[in-house]
Amino acid sequence: MSNILHVCIESILDAPATLSKPYKRWHLAFATIYCSRALHSLLNKKNKKTSKLPLSTPSFVVLNVERHLAFSNIEHKSLTEVVKKKNLDQLHEFGGVAGVADALKTDDKNGIHGDVEDIARRQEVFGSNTYPRPPAKSFFYFVLEAFKDLTILILLACATLSLGFGIKEHGLKEGWYDGGSIFVAVFLVISVSAVSNFRQNRQFEKLSKVSNNIKVEVVRDGHRQQISIFEIVVGDVVCLKIGDQVAADGLFLDGHSLQVDESSMTGESDHVEVNCHQNPFLFSGTKVADGYGQMLVTSVGMDTTWGEMMSTISRDLNEETPLQARLNKLTSSIGKVGLAVAFLVLVVLVVRYFTGNTEDENGNQEFNGGKTKANDIVNAMVRIIAAAVTIVVVAIPEGLPLAVTLTLAYSMKRMMADQAMVRKLSACETMGSATTICTDKTGTLTLNQMKVTKYWLGKEPVEDSSSIDTHVLKLIQQGVALNTTGSIYRATSGSEFEFSGSPTEKAILSWAVLELGMDMEAIKQNYSILHVEAFNSEKKRSGVLMRKKADNKIHVHWKGAAEMILAMCSSYYDASGSIKCLDDGERITFEQIIEGMAASSLRCIAFAHKQIPEEKQEISESRQKLKEDSLTLIGLVGIKDPCRPGVRKAVEDCQYAGVNVRMITGDNVFTARAIATECGILRPDQDMNGEAVVEGEVFRNYTPEERMEKVDKIRVMARSSPFDKLLMVQCLKQKGHVVAVTGDGTNDAPALKEADIGLSMGIQGTEVAKESSDIIILDDNFASVATVLKWGRCVYNNIQKFIQFQLTVNVAALVINFVAAVSAGEVPLTAVQLLWVNLIMDTLGALALATEKPTKELMEKPPVGRTEPLISNIMWRNLLAQALYQIAILLTLQFKGESIFGVSEEVNDTLIFNTFVLCQVFNEFNARKLEKKNVFKGLHKNKLFLGIIGITIILQVVMVEFLKKFANTERLNWGQWGVCIGIAAASWPIGWVVKSIPVSEKPFLSYLKW
């Protein structure tokens, strides 16, 4: 018995030395419980033999520690701290990276099993890769924000005054109408504004979730696959390449030349080198600046530094766009004009009253010196102040900011459906003013579906791979298998190959495996890699230094842009496998081959090789420097990347709209010219003088004056570096252009930030590029860029339509009430009626006009300049014509209506109110087109517009016919309704005639800065 117990304790207490104190305690507790159970079980058996008496209840507690035992060899909290504090000594205590991988049950080559149970268990033990967000802003937050608006505060002050004076003059039963209606109006404006902003905020939250849902490449069960960043678990092996965001905290497993930008965490701009020995630590939220590698995830979500930081940050989504700022300024300017006019009316009416120029209902003089009672004077003052308040109410266009919010929210939603995700609202507007688009080639103008279609060995094209010399074939296979960031996966020997990596890498791997019979795993096992120079867009090449295990000989392989590799070579292999000298004549021949392939729109890649002589092997190993000269050219491959269908049409649409399209690519001049001609960016006869197509290096070497002189003529920039792209954007901006730039690489970030509108690619784009951009093109298609341009113009156009419509209402109402108040001493339109007009026109008008979809006409006009006034001469022409017509008609009705129609004053006032509202309804149709005479085109497609017109007419009928006391109206007969409709309908022919009047280019209000 004692022997059994002794063995039991010995075996269970044999705890690993790497365990920390808390886990040793757990181990001891488990051992004690286990031994107690064993002891009890033995006693139980003995008692069964000797006695049949029932046993008492056991005096121990059974603990289920199985879940922790799944990863019992390591304490997660300690591991998290090791990585956060970059503690190498403690990492060695864990057994290094290999020890951690073993404890986390991860195979450093094949990753975790990745089945449902494995993932669930890891998430249960270590947590998921998510972090709690700050609570979203509630609806009441937006209600309070709306109350802070100066316009609303003025209206509330007016409502309070009107309510007090109304009750004072007419008693509580009827005196609350005017003040109460202003309160109702304020309530409606606040409600619509708060609902609109609340919904927009929710939309931003959704977009934020979409943009945060980054795709990450992991290895699970030996298979490379893309998963959401939120699905990453501790133990995952994550693949990293240039431009990737590190998805969690972890340790470096394998890779070459890996450099990380930790500025988001530390503020230090210098890149940090990550390797196995000195610094294997990687942090969530940092960006890969160079090289490639694999990392082992050690902590996720809130256990990472980035998670702790992000959970406290709330992205402020309520940025004020430039157009909103201009409109707020415009609203306050109109409000000031309204206040000035109201003050003038107040002074005039007070003077008229005290000079005895006003009469009461019986025709008697109202003010008669000392004989007038104090109460009558107070009542008269109340009436005068109410008239002034009414003018202030009508002057303030509350709907303008609301219209912008509605338009932007609507267009953002529709743009998402059109494959464009807006990250910054201001980009919606700015895109409408874009005068030039600088676009990438690969994936944007082309399909990014690459395939090797040509292979040249020496000066001969190879049609059949069986004709390639065996030695050369082996060198090509080595160059492809060992100098790549891609990978090959095959589930079973009979199944199809799966290739992963960049499109170029996938094309080359596919060609080498399927046509040349390459066995990547076998080659990798025969060689050990000593040093790698990773590909980047400046060097346009990648190289690898390796040792053959069989004979310890060192080789160097290079792959990259054909002319770059050719310049590094001094010999070449011919079709028979012999090495030939590459003299000047031969070099020219190869250059012609490259040009010929490029002219056929092929991307030309070259392979070169060199065996390092034995005497130089030690130097190469110690310096880890790749040989860059005297190489032997193995061969050239031509990769075809077909143009996207519909790109030519999209380019032509942009050019027709006055927007120049420029292509900036890393390909050579001949490939660039061929693709640009195919896409319609270049005309076949355009580059005769050599100014339309330029190389990045040539552009870079121009003097600043030469650059400024030639930049407008450039249509294609080939062999460009990211710096050249940035330089071109800066030059174009200096020339006064509004520049949109597309980009997908990490190095495009400066150009994307510098541009007026940065457009990143959703599929091929790196996280760095996406973060630097304003809009993400989700399908990487240039046609979507043209759609964004159309939407940008639509936003601007819709807001201009609404401003024209709104200002017509304001100008007409202001002038009518001012003239009537000054001449007759009373206002024809009451506060209730004016607020009704304002509300109907503001909220419903904004909805109707803000949701117009883009039309072809938008792309027929040149871009709107950055400095052009918001209210154009065309708008002034349209709104002044309609406002003058309404003023003339309504003042005629005011002074002569009773005698013309033979009606009472009350009916005449209702006629004025009804005609005024119907004029706005008909004018809403005119506002649909600022320049075109046919305002009904496309009307059947906008069901919302027709619905709103219908609702407005129904509400107006209710107002006139049924709300007599509240609206201060009288019922009208059919003939009177017909007259009102006839007068209002005349605004259509007037609008048609007015649009024939030409207007000057110089802004009508050039002396005013809106």
At residue 418, the pLDDT reads 87
Q: Alpha helix (H) ranges present in 446-502?
A: 470-482
At residue 661, the pLDDT reads 93
> Would you call 928 helix, strand, or coil by DSSP?
coil
Report CA-CA distances (Å) from 958 to 249, 394, 828, 963.
66, 21, 20, 7
Give the tokens for residue 250.
Answer: 């972890």
At residue 8, the pLDDT reads 45
At residue 239, the pLDDT reads 92
For 949-982, b/e burial (b = at least 16 CB within 10 A) is beebeebbeebbeeeeebbbbbebeeebbebbbe
For residue 902, count CB atoms less than 10 angstroms from its CB and return exposed for 0-12, middle for 13-18, buried for 19 or more. exposed
At residue 479, the pLDDT reads 93
The residue written with tokens 């109201």 in the block is: 342
Give the tokens for residue 994.
Answer: 């007015």
Contact 935, 926 (CB under 8 A): yes
The pairing of beta strand 554-561 with beta strand 602-611: antiparallel
For 164-181, b/e burial (b = at least 16 CB within 10 A) is ebbbebeeeeebbbbbbb
End-to-end CA distance of the chain: 97
User: Which residues are part of the catalytic machinery?
Assistant: 440
The pairing of beta strand 757-761 with beta strand 739-743: parallel
How many helical (H) and strand (E) elements, i.e. helices and strands, does the chain have?
38, 26
Q: Tell me which H or E stretch contains 271.
A: none
Whole-structure pTM value: 0.70
The residue written with tokens 């995830």 in the block is: 297
pLDDT tens, position by position, 893-909: 888 888 888 888 888 88
The residue written with tokens 């039991």 in the block is: 8
Contact 802, 849 (CB under 8 A): yes
Give the tokens for residue 710.
Answer: 């030639």
- What residue ranges of the chain have pLDDT lower than 50? 1-13, 15, 17-19, 22, 45-68, 314-317, 1007-1010
Cα gap 666→724, rounded to integer Å: 10
At residue 24, the pLDDT reads 52
Cα gap 479→457, rounded to integer Å: 14
At residue 894, the pLDDT reads 85
Give the tokens for residue 344.
Answer: 């003038």
The residue written with tokens 């890393």 in the block is: 666
At residue 1003, the pLDDT reads 66
Cα gap 287→214, rounded to integer Å: 13
Cα gap 958→964, rounded to integer Å: 9
The greatest distance separating any two alpha carbons of the chain, rounded to the nearest whole angstrom, comes to 127
Cα gap 22→393, rounded to integer Å: 72
At residue 236, the pLDDT reads 94
Report CA-CA distances (Å) from 869 to 323, 334, 429, 795, 872.
11, 16, 14, 15, 6
Across the beta sheet with 739-743, what order do the strands follow?
Answer: 420-422, 775-777, 757-761, 739-743, 436-439, 660-664, 716-718, 693-695
